[in-house]
Amino acid sequence: MNANAGNLEVLESALLADIAAAADEQAIEAVRIAALGKKGSVSELLKTLGAMTAEERQVQGPAINGLKNRVTEALAARKAELKNAAVAARLVAETLDVTLPVRQSPAERGRIHPISQVIDEIAAIFGDMGFAIAEGPDIETDHYNFTALNFPVGHPAREMHDTFFLQAAEGNEAKLLRTHTSPVQIRTMEAQKPPIRIVIPGKTYRMDSDATHTPMFHQLEGLVIDRTANVANMRWVLEEFCKAFFEVPSLKMRFRPSFFPFTEPSLEVDIQCDRSRPGEVRFGEGNDWMEILGCGMVHPNVLRAGGLDPDEYQGFAWGMGIDRIAMLKYGMPDLRAFFDADVRWLSHYGFRPLDMPTLFGGLST
């Protein structure tokens, strides 16, 4: 190819236009390869110098090399320009507004569910009284949920539990979702010797659903077994718990006779409350009563089922609804909202994760 001055000018202005139009580093690199790469338009022109006569080369040499140098310079200049533009764009995008309020970390933004909070409060209160926490499986056998707790087969009290049964494998007895936390009484007696002082928080299940019942709910079971545990001890423990939990200095309790297969005698406990203000219940004052839990002395058959000799050991037990006492303490009207996983509800009723309840620091402050 014999480049004349006109051709070089056309090529130069085309290359300079391409360079000016390159919008990023990739585009500029493409232009560079097209001009100065091994097979680039300028490189091909340089190759033609070898075949020229000395006179031709004297004219074309400086012309083509001049073109090459100007294109090289334009490429470098455009590259630097793009780099500066990128830095400027980044500076704009990454500005830090130091007047903005500090954003809460995820750990600070999260909220503890009222059920978890109440379980922590319960653990703090009973832990202070020397109780340990025990747990058991949600899927239970008929034996632990009923028979060992002195519900004879065919006893009408079984029907009252609205039990969810699981599909049984061929030839096996159907397992069930535990209807109460009481089966953990038996499991604990089997696993450890008295003295036993435990509380058992956990999920329980019954076929039931309305504003104050959900198919899954939570119970707190308590169990004390030694050689002398008696009703007076039970009364003290429950009274101390209720005062600490509802954060009142004093509170009257009323014990009414009741029936549970696993206790004898069985009692139902009401606590003093005031319902005179609309939409509000206050504990430890007023002339009203509210049922709060069931309790009693552990039935000899239950001790036997747990492998203990009722002539040697005796004890008391109680059970109450965790969801219910949470609703009462924190004024939440509908139980179903507990399990809707609605972030708005949780940020309203939930608790700050770093405020762990303790007796000395205040349970709910």
Which residues are annotated binding-site positions for Mg(2+)? 264
Question: How do strand 282-283 and strand 288-298 relate by DSSP bridges?
Answer: unpaired
Asked if 299 is part of the footprint of ligand DAH (rule: CB under 6 A), the reply reads no
**Calpha distance 238→222 (Å, rounded):** 10
Q: Choose the binding region for ligand DAH from 40-48, 151-159, 280-288, 314-322 (rule: CB under 6 A).
A: 314-322
Which residue's Cβ lies closest to ligand DAH? 319
- Whether the CB-CB separation of 163 and 177 falls below 8 Å is answered with yes
Asked if 202 is part of the footprint of ligand DAH (rule: CB under 6 A), the reply reads no
Asked if 295 is part of the footprint of ligand DAH (rule: CB under 6 A), the reply reads yes
Work out how close the CB of 179 gets to ligand DAH at its nearest, in angstroms, rounded to a whole number: 7
Place of tokens 């933004």: 109
Q: Count residues contacting ligand DAH (CB under 6 A)?
A: 11
Asked if 317 is part of the footprint of ligand DAH (rule: CB under 6 A), the reply reads yes
Residue of 40, 114, 136, 296 that binds ligand DAH (CB under 6 A): 296
Q: Choose the binding region for ligand DAH from 22-30, 315-323, 331-339, 355-363 (rule: CB under 6 A).
A: 315-323
- Whether the CB-CB separation of 306 and 295 falls below 8 Å is answered with no
Query: In this complex, which beta carbon is closest to ligand DAH, that of residue 75 or of residue 317?
Result: 317
- Whether the CB-CB separation of 274 and 285 falls below 8 Å is answered with yes
CA 176 to chain centre: 27
Asked if 263 is part of the footprint of ligand DAH (rule: CB under 6 A), the reply reads yes
Q: Which residues are annotated as a binding site?
A: 264
Q: Choose the binding region for ligand DAH from 79-87, 104-112, 278-286, 313-321 (rule: CB under 6 A).
A: 313-321
Asked if 294 is part of the footprint of ligand DAH (rule: CB under 6 A), the reply reads yes
Query: In this complex, which beta carbon is closest to ligand DAH, that of residue 83 or of residue 256?
Result: 256
3-class DSSP state of 201: strand
CA–CA distances in Å: residue 324 to residues 28, 50, 153, 165, 330: 71, 98, 30, 25, 10
User: How many CB atoms are closer than 10 A to CB 319?
Assistant: 22
Query: In this complex, which beta carbon is closest to ligand DAH, that of residue 178 or of residue 243?
Result: 178
- Structure tokens belonging to residue 291: 């049922």
- Whether the CB-CB separation of 187 and 144 falls below 8 Å is answered with yes
Work out how close the CB of 314 gets to ligand DAH at its nearest, in angstroms, rounded to a whole number: 13
Question: Per-residue x/- marks for ligand DAH, 144-183, CB under 6 A?
Answer: ------------------------------------x-x-
Q: What totals of helices (H) and strands (E) does the chain contain, helices first?
A: 13, 10
- Of 116, 290, 349, 295, which Cα lies nearest the Cα of 124? 116
Rg, C-alpha atoms of the chain:
41
Asked if 335 is part of the footprint of ligand DAH (rule: CB under 6 A), the reply reads no
Work out how close the CB of 329 gets to ligand DAH at its nearest, in angstroms, rounded to a whole number: 19
User: How many CB atoms are closer than 10 A to CB 227?
Assistant: 10
Chain positions contacting ligand DAH, by CB under 6 A: 180, 182, 221, 260, 263, 294-296, 317-319
